[in-house]
Structure 1
Amino acid sequence: MFKAVLIDKDDAGYRARLTELADDALPEGNVSVRVAWSTLNYKDGLAITGKMPVVRKFPMVPGIDLAGTVEASSHPEVRVGDAVVLNGWGVGETHWGGLAQRARLDGDWLVPLPAAFSARQAMAIGTAGYTAMLCVLALERHGVTPDQGEVLVTGAAGGVGSVAVALLARLGYTVVASTGRPEEAGYLKTLGAAEIIERDTLSAPGKPLGKERWAGAVDTVGSHTLANVCAGMRYRGTVAACGLAQGMDFPATVAPFILRGVTLAGVDSVMAPRDLRLQAWQRLARDLDVALLDAITSEIGLSETIDTAPRLLAGQVRGRVVVDVNR
């Protein structure tokens, strides 16, 4: 038996509960993992609360991240005893995920735990940090360098934003952090932000083109914020877009793209190919200051995830939330 958060939807409605399950309830897969740590991400919050139709099959164990140790494997490249990390691939949506003490998975989804990180540290990074690194890689691919000017991070006090600020600052960029929580200014400057701006300066409907300011940007917000970020990009600047905290809409014009040659680079972490995942985790091991992880991380037990999910969606949780699945 093992403990898990389980989501059900039936005639009685949509609900999430902490329960115990038998091993034979686990879905099919060629690798079994004893989970040590998981995380609570924005998507997990949506799944647990039912605010958006994230879950595609019921019943479902949520949790898009996990770190643990392989207990059984018939996969040719995964061995018993391997320390592994999983991010995305539809776990917590179409396949049982990481908010449980055990998981059965496809070995192709697993990445070796980098030696630089403990399992807890890997989950302090989690999908949010891995996505932030994918955004940094996208900016680099499109030629954004520290000497070109300021780089903006929206939703900077959230999970993706916090790690993006820390990574970009460590790499020498001048980072401007946008947040709706001015009380987090000190926290963001600790991560390396050179300046803090209010979310309201970007979140309302704006002009098709604004003053050129940003050489690059990481946007976790979408909607009017993303439109305004694009409108304020410098010539041939790049925006890495990875989130929708404000909304899925994009009320913009083509002006930034055809008049300033701006690039809007979409960043998907869920189905990213394995070689890109390995590159991202290798770069995290090299470029992320592990000492900052404690500053961006809070810890809860598995039993606290259901109550924490609504607060996460309401923007009341700073940075990353790691989940000790054994308490």
Structure 2
Amino acid sequence: MSATTPAKESSFMADLRRFFRSMKQTRQQVLVRMPGWRTYGYPEDAITQAKNHWEYALLSLVAYAKAAAIKRAMTKLQLLPTSAEFVEKSRPDYTKLNFDPEDELIKAGWVCYNTFVDDRLDAAFKAAHLRLEVWMKKDSSALAVAFGGTVATSLRDWQANLRWILPKLPGRPDEYTVCVTKFVPGFLAALEKESLEKPPVIYSTGHSLGGGLAQQFAYALPDQLAQQGLSLPRVIQVYAFDTSPVTGFYSLEEAIRAQNAKGLQTDRVFERGEVLAFLRAVLALVRPPSRINPAIRTVRYNFLGRVWPIHAHNISLLAQALYDATHVSQPSPPRPPSS
């Protein structure tokens, strides 16, 4: 529990007081719903939580932006990855931000690793529209897997988002299925080849659909070295931004998901009023987020004030606001994108 988050008062009137106070949340405040709670605690300074979230918001943004830029270079510009222009033209356009997220991640000690995705995996990912990146701290102490979010025009993304209600298509596995059947074993094999002196602490992160995939990845790692008396590292923390409520939890074998959920911490981070917030809030009332194994916190910011729900779902705006809150002395509120 955050040192600034008071212990929960267990009474109906206390819940009611917290609810009405949450309606008055300012742009400088953050609300936290602790694991197992149905309501938020009392407001606290947004910076206290933003310090934990900004790097992972940038990782989630970059995973989305780089994949979109590469696709644009290959399809609209008809450039080959081997061409001289490709490196320049496939770089994301970050001019709407007041910083370069890739540069800031490098300054924070992160390095992007391409060795975790080979050509065979890349083909499977492209077929399902699964986009992800693996970053590691320079001292190999931590590793983060960042998943790209929903592209509104991608039918494969909507197949994944609506997997609860859509029938499974033969020969057309969705992104959640490809993540488990292709990426997880490939990730473990690549991690073993790295021959690190000390297994890194593993984080997973993503925005929207990417947030759901980040949670499923955390639940899906098999302990394939158990027979040798060794244990593979587990994801210890998930940072899911404006996340889809779909996590693929029940599509995994119970033994697998249970061993991965043990001790797992998850932050579901979002901007107030974003388009998926209402759906998650209804689900939380019916079934509060897990108190333990995994312990799921909900963290609500209000950087944008009152904007359209689609605008509030924008990872660029949330990443910009989290960065400004932790790096700029007097940040101005992010402006919603023009319609």
Normalised by the size of structure 2, how large is the TM-score? 0.33
Normalised by the size of structure 1, how large is the TM-score? 0.34
Structure having the larger proportion of residues in helix: 2
Structure having the larger proportion of residues in strand: 1
